[in-house]
């Protein structure tokens, strides 16, 4: 059949009407008969042990069914992820740890009763602040995702010491928090030994596997559904306490239970982006060629589960140098467990690297775009493999053309100082094994089934486009079923790998279906003809090439010298991410990532209170995320790449690269405007005013 125009077209989201009319059901919106509500009670000490629990006042609240504690809660098997060992003992590893669970007829009763639980503790000394040179600093054996903690090529220290031009600077990023529009929530129901869960998750298959282990059930006795998910940004990439607590309460009470976390609880229970200290040392020749690049990262982790933010790895991808080093160190503190947050590692690491490159350009008296182009590698510097495709130079040049670069001198408009900045971006191409089925129906339509998760990215729509293109059929003749653990197994929506992984299996299933149909004569049977595809052994096979997406960010800012406020007037991103499968949803992903990067640069930041061990900014009144008025002019464009080393669609992930270079581009623009270099995010008015005063 002839290929259709489905792939790449700006198809509208299939679930859009449901969402804007309010008929799309989320995890907490399943009013099963007899449903009740649960509310977690967080620990109010930073470290210690429970010595007394008075649940009488809570039980006296009308509508309360029970209060679960470590003394009466169902016993769980020991989990792989210790953050899910809930209500199993009296230990409190950090503030916000769940120490009790109230179950009541209404959310209001559960909330009132949770506030009435009285707990006494035997407290211990705690340490929650990441400081340079902390005595507990050490190099971990493994970093996030099994990535290496260090890389070394040549003799970087000696090369740096001998370099004619040197930059030696340290950058700091604070803890950051995932605040999806839909807070974490789950509805659980047991029926004759079978568990059904509706949960807000980026991967229902993983949730099912974890629940099976915790409750000692065969996986085929558990169904986990995530029909619609209101954002995740990594915080829903693995099971969180809400799903375990809901299942536990439902088993104990024998009734369906919904647990929806209030937003103020999220910072301590669903992970956060760990703070980082990044020291960058760049050595270069007088004409701007790097001779040494050293990136040393220190971050924190928790006593419950080790998670090491790999902020240095991108320094092994970006620029040619014969002498390279990155190394990670971690400090275990009495803090909640860090976890994934959109572009984990890349967002913080590239802020440091791209800011340092801007500083090097200043030392050299060179245009920062030209400096990056001059240090373009022909192979991946850390791994030595050839790139499957790399069009960073084209992104920089196209972005410069669209933005109006090279920039002129900074200028003033009354009390406003105007400046521009640039930064590069990269994100790895990842793909995981996946299964999918494709079925031809007697009515001329097709059904695609795969346990993908649509977390607001348009997965339903793009998978239908992939299928329509492979089948050579109009898009409206393809139906997709996703978000259910009973569907063919699929990996999580994370690491910008969802579409690449799911789409590969869908494409292959459709190709096999065409082969089956080619040999079929006569009408289709009533149940249709279906095939199954499994990409195991290929999607997870090693590659002979280094596979990455690249991009370039440009920003124009206005800095108010009276208030210290920074306003981003223009933000432009140009990306090289393989073939774009849906121009409408892709632009939305790029723009969303850039907006999140703007928040990281200017407004988002969290403080760990040293005395109380808590995150001071725990809601959207104090943790400031960008709104529409903060982004007056934002554009995303791309360069189409033909990369044969990816997947059948030739696509790369696009969900995270928009975040990666944006903070540095904005920070570099602030420096251009003011002449002051701020090396700690976010660039809040107080920091800007202090820098202006010192300047």
Residues with catalytic annotation? Answer: 656
Tokens of 231: 């954002």
* Sequence-distant (≥ 6) Cβ neighbours of residue 295 within 8 angstroms: 278, 279, 280, 281, 311, 312, 315, 325, 326, 327, 349, 352, 353
488 and 436 Cβ atoms separated by less than 8 Å: yes
- Select from 557, 299, 573, 543 the least CA-distant residue to 424: 573
Q: How far apart are CA 446 and CA 466, in angstroms?
A: 12
Pairing relation of β-strands 222-225 and 194-199?
parallel
101 and 73 Cβ atoms separated by less than 8 Å: yes
- Select from 274, 426, 240, 266 the least CA-distant residue to 344: 274
599 and 626 Cβ atoms separated by less than 8 Å: yes
Q: How far apart are CA 507 and CA 437, in angstroms?
A: 10
CA dihedral 395, 400, 406, 409 (to 10 degrees): -110
Percent helix, strand, coil in the chain, to 5, is 30, 25, 45
Taken as a whole, the chain contains a residue count of 695
* Residue 335: its H or E element: none
Strands (E), 2-114: 36-42, 48-54, 64-68, 91-92, 98-104
Tokens of 356: 């340092």
- Select from 339, 168, 161 the least CA-distant residue to 266: 339
528 and 15 Cβ atoms separated by less than 8 Å: no
451 and 490 Cβ atoms separated by less than 8 Å: yes
The single-letter DSSP state of residue 83 is: G
At which residue do the structure tokens 């108010």 appear?
560
Tokens of 83: 């953050």
DSSP β-bridge partners for residue 550: 426, 576
569 and 558 Cβ atoms separated by less than 8 Å: yes
Rounded to a whole number of angstroms, the distance between the first and last alpha carbons of the chain is: 67
User: Given CA atoms 10, 14, 19, 22 in this order, what sign does their dihedral have?
Assistant: positive
């Amino acid at each position: 059949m002839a290929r259709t125009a489905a792939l790449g077209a700006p198809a509208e989201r299939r679930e859009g009407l449901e969402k804007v009319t309010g008929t799309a059901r989320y995890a907490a919106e399943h009013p099963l008969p007899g449903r009740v509500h649960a509310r977690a009670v967080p620990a109010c000490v930073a470290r210690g042990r429970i010595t007394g629990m008075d649940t009488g006042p809570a039980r006296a609240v009308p509508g309360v069914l029970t209060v679960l504690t470590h003394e009466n809660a169902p016993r769980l098997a020991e989990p792989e992820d210790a953050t899910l060992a809930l209500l199993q003992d009296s230990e409190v590893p950090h503030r916000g740890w769940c120490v009790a669970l109230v179950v009541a007829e209404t959310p209001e009763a559960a909330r009132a009763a949770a506030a009435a639980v009285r707990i006494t503790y035997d407290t211990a000394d705690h340490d929650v602040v990441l400081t340079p040179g902390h005595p507990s600093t050490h190099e971990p054996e493994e970093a996030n995702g099994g990535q290496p903690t260090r890389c070394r090529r040549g003799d970087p220290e000696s090369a740096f010491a001998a370099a004619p031009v040197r930059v030696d600077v340290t950058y700091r990023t604070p803890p950051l928090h995932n605040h999806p529009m839909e807070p974490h929530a789950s509805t659980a129901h047991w029926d004759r030994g079978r568990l059904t869960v509706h949960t807000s998750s980026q991967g229902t298959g993983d949730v099912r596997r974890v629940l099976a282990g915790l409750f000692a059930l065969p996986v085929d006795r558990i169904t986990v559904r995530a029909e619609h998910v209101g954002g995740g940004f990594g915080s829903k990439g693995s099971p969180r306490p809400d799903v375990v607590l809901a299942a536990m309460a439902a088993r104990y009470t024998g009734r369906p239970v919904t647990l929806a976390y209030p937003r103020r609880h999220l910072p301590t229970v669903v992970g956060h982006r760990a703070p980082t200290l990044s020291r960058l040392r760049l050595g270069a020749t007088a004409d701007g060629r790097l001779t040494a690049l050293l990136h040393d990262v220190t971050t924190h982790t928790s006593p419950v589960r080790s998670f090491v933010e790999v902020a240095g790895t991108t320094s092994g991808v970006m620029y040619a140098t014969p002498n390279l080093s990155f190394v990670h160190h971690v400090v275990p503190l009495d803090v909640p467990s860090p976890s994934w947050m959109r572009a984990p590692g890349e967002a913080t690491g590239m802020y440091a690297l791209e800011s340092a490159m801007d500083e090097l350009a200043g030392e050299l008296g060179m245009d920062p775009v030209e400096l990056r182009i001059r240090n373009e590698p022909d192979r991946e510097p850390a791994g030595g493999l050839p790139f499957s495709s790399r069009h960073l130079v084209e992104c920089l040049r196209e972005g410069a053309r669209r933005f109006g670069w090279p920039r002129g001198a900074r200028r003033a408009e009354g009390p406003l100082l105007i400046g521009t900045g640039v930064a590069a971006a990269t994100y790895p191409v990842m793909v995981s094994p996946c299964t999918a089925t494709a079925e031809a129906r007697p009515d001329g339509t097709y059904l695609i089934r795969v346990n993908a998760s649509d977390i607001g990215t348009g997965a339903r729509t793009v998978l239908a486009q992939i299928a329509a293109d492979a089948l050579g059929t109009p898009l409206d003749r393809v139906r997709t079923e996703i978000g259910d653990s009973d569907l063919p197994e699929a990996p999580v929506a994370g690491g910008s790998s969802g579409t690449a992984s799911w789409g590969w299996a869908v494409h292959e299933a459709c190709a096999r279906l065409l082969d089956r149909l080619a040999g079929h004569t006569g009408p289709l049977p009533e149940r249709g003809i279906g095939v199954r595809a499994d990409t195991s052994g290929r999607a997870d096979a090693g590659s002979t090439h280094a596979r990455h997406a690249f991009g370039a960010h440009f920003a124009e800012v206005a800095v108010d010298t009276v208030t210290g406020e920074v306003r981003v007037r223009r933000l432009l991103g140009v990306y090289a991410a393989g073939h774009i499968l849906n121009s409408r949803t892709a632009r939305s992903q790029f723009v969303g990532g850039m907006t999140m990067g703007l928040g990281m640069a200017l407004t988002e930041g969290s403080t760990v209170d040293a005395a109380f061990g808590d995150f001071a900014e725990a809601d959207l009144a104090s943790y400031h995320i960008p709104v529409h008025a903060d982004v007056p002019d934002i554009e995303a464009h791309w360069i189409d790449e033909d990369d044969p080393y990816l997947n059948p669609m030739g696509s790369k992930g696009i969900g995270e690269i928009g975040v990666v270079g944006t903070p540095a581009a904005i920070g570099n623009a602030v420096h251009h405007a003011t002449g002051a270099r701020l090396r700690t995010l976010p660039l809040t008015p107080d920091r800007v005013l202090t820098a202006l005063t010192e300047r």
